[in-house]
Amino acid sequence: MEKENKFIVLLLLSFMATIIGTLILKHKDNQTIKTHLTNSTIKIQEASYSITPIKDSEHFMVSAFIDHRLDGAIRVISIIKRNNLQPLYCVYCTTEHDCKTVETEVQIHTDHFGFPFHVSDVICKGKNMQSASHVLITTHPTKHLYNINMEYLPINNNLVTDNFKYNFTVCISNLFGSYNNVLQFAQTMEMYKLLGVQHVVIYNTSCGADLKKLLKHYESEGFLEIVSWPIDKFLNPSPGWNFQEHKGDLHYYGQLVTLNECIYRHMYQSRYVLLNDIDEIIMPYKYSNLQSLMEDLQSADPSNGVFLIENHIFPKTQFEDSGKFKREEWKNISGINIMEHIYREPERKNVYNPTKMIVNPRKVEQTSVHSSLKNFGGSYHVPFNVCRIVHVRVPLQGHLTKEELFVDKRVWDFENNLIPNVDRTLKLSGLLKDSS
């Protein structure tokens, strides 16, 4: 009798132990894989480039942010080789150098245009991520590998704030080749200043010699932030947008990586972010500046976070007749003089006119070039008469004569301020002799 009782008790006990054990294991699986490394086993070594290879894989990590809209998860903007995705793990460390490892969810953006590598979000969810300072992505979830010299990314956006340093930031996705269109760049930057932009970011792979002087000037002035983007050291970036046509590893020098990076980089720094190319100006027509434009657009619907702006082509092959902007001072400056190109191409029937964007970065989760892929608020197509893009470039409809184009002199409205400002900048950059 006693024996039997003992046996039942033992049976019960072992049964309970199994259940508890299973629960603990399960709990561990959900939470963390290995925990609590001490200071002696980990050395936080910050990544030295904006592009960091993920060890034992073909992928790269770029930068890491707390995403407060996703319960404080860590989002690591990454470049993933799409056909070779293995399980990835996040090692995240608090300032006390206490690290935890969690499994990740990899979200490859949908707009890959067939390229083998593409921008992706590696999402890490776990406890107390908001107090973490550094993170790395690894293919090995086990402890013994941490102490190898691995490079960690600092984690940004730890705190939510609506005390923005800037109201308007322009993200210019990529600068590459020996691009040296100095005059158009200076005119664009000065125009943006007049429109109320306080900050411009450019991702630099390479540039021409004169443009470099101009960029250095704007950087020293505090208006321009140059992010080093040596993508050509790691991959064979494509010069085009479509894999079938242009080949290469990654869409257009990584434009989709840098646009997404720029949005997260400025989430709590800038009220709005403009996403456009180096030769495009997002130009308010109904208002004299971006501040009035956005006040109007947001008062109509405060929930909107993405504003689509139509692109319009001003062919660099058509010059205005008076020649009043053929200035002696600019003869020696390389690049296009946008003041001379006031003829705008008409829209084509059955051809979609691509848009660029002004976004509230806090309402965007993933962006493409012409629209947002995932956003929290609404998206609004801004009417052509309210705001449109002035894009001076090679014509798209080169067969059209001047008479078949529209006269659009919007840039002339700014001549009184724009011209002296451009001249001053060129002088300060050492591109124009200071004869005055």
Ligand X SMILES: *[C@@H]1O[C@H](CO)[C@@H](O)[C@H](O)[C@H]1NC(C)=O
Residues that bind ligand X (CB under 6 A): 38-39, 96-97, 167, 204, 206-207, 212, 215-216, 226, 230, 291, 332, 432-433
Cβ-based nearer residue to ligand X, 113 or 164 = 164
Rounded to a whole number, what is the distance in angstroms from the first to the last CA of the chain?
A: 113
Nearer to ligand X, 38 or 417 (CB): 38
Residue 40: CB minimum distance to ligand X, A: 8
| Token pair listed for 198 | 């306080």
Determine the Cα–Cα distance for residues 81 and 58; give it in Å rounded to an integer.
6
DSSP, collapsed to helix, strand or coil, labels residue 318 as coil
Residue that the structure tokens 């009035």 belong to: 292
Q: Count of CB atoms within 10 A of residue 39's CB? A: 10
Cα-based angle 206, 108, 55 (whole degrees, multiple of 5): 65
Instruction: Assess contact for 175 and 147: CB atoms under 8 A.
Output: no
| CB of 38 vs ligand X, minimal distance in Å | 6
**Closer of 60 and 343 to ligand X (Cβ):** 60
> Which residue, 114 or 420, is less far from ligand X as judged by CB?
420
For the bound state, the minimum distance from the C-beta of residue 302 to ligand X, rounded and expressed in Å, comes to: 13
Q: With 0-12 CB in 10 A as exposed, 13-18 as middle and 19+ as buried, what is 436? A: exposed
The span from the CA of 388 to the CA of 287, in Å, is: 12
For residue 27, the minimal CB distance to ligand X (Å) is: 24
Q: How far apart are CA 281 and CA 75, in angstroms?
A: 31
Name the minimum Å distance from CB 260 to ligand X.
21
The residue (of 88 and 207) whose beta carbon lies closer to ligand X is 207
- Give 51 or 342: the residue with its C-beta nearer to ligand X: 51
Give least dist CB 209 to ligand X, A: 9
Answer yes or no: are the C-beta atoms of 297 and 290 closer than 8 Å: no
